[in-house]
């Protein structure tokens, strides 16, 4: 495996990870910010109030985005498997 192929592989891997994680992390950040704002306005300092909405929103987002995420991962895995002969040289 030469340096250019390794760099390309690492770049593709990092881009795929960021692409898959961005919707989940963005939703968690927005929900967390909203709940934090709600807690500061109402002076409610309940710990479960921050966890439950985020958990429910992330689970529902994962159910919605699961086909896209699986398709993306399958395409990535197929691309990596087809590059294996080049990696062995």
Quick one: angle between helices 3-42 and 48-88, nearest 10?
180
Q: What is the mean pLDDT of the chain?
A: 92
- pLDDT given at position 22: 97
* 2 torsion bin: left (phi>0), alpha (psi -120 to 50), beta (else): beta
Tell me the two tokens of residue 19: 């692409």
Strands, E assignment, the chain: none
Whether 72 has a pLDDT exceeding 90, the answer reads yes
47 vs 72, residue with greater confidence: 72
Give me the percent of the chain exceeding a pLDDT of 90. Answer: 67
- pLDDT given at position 74: 97
Task: Kindly report the backbone phi and psi dihedral angles of residue 2, in degrees, each rounded to the nearest multiple of 5, phi listed first.
Answer: -90, 175
> Domain locations in the chain?
3-88
Tell me, yes or no, if the pTM score tops 0.85: no
């Amino acid at each position: 495996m030469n340096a250019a192929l390794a760099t390309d592989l690492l770049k593709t891997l990092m881009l795929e990870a960021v692409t898959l994680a961005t919707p989940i992390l963005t939703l968690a950040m927005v929900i967390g910010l909203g709940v934090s704002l709600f807690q500061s306005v109402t002076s409610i300092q309940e710990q479960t109030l921050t966890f439950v909405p985020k958990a429910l929103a992330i689970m529902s987002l994962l159910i919605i985005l699961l086909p896209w995420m699986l398709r993306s991962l399958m395409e990535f895995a197929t691309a990596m498997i087809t590059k294996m002969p080049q990696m062995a040289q």
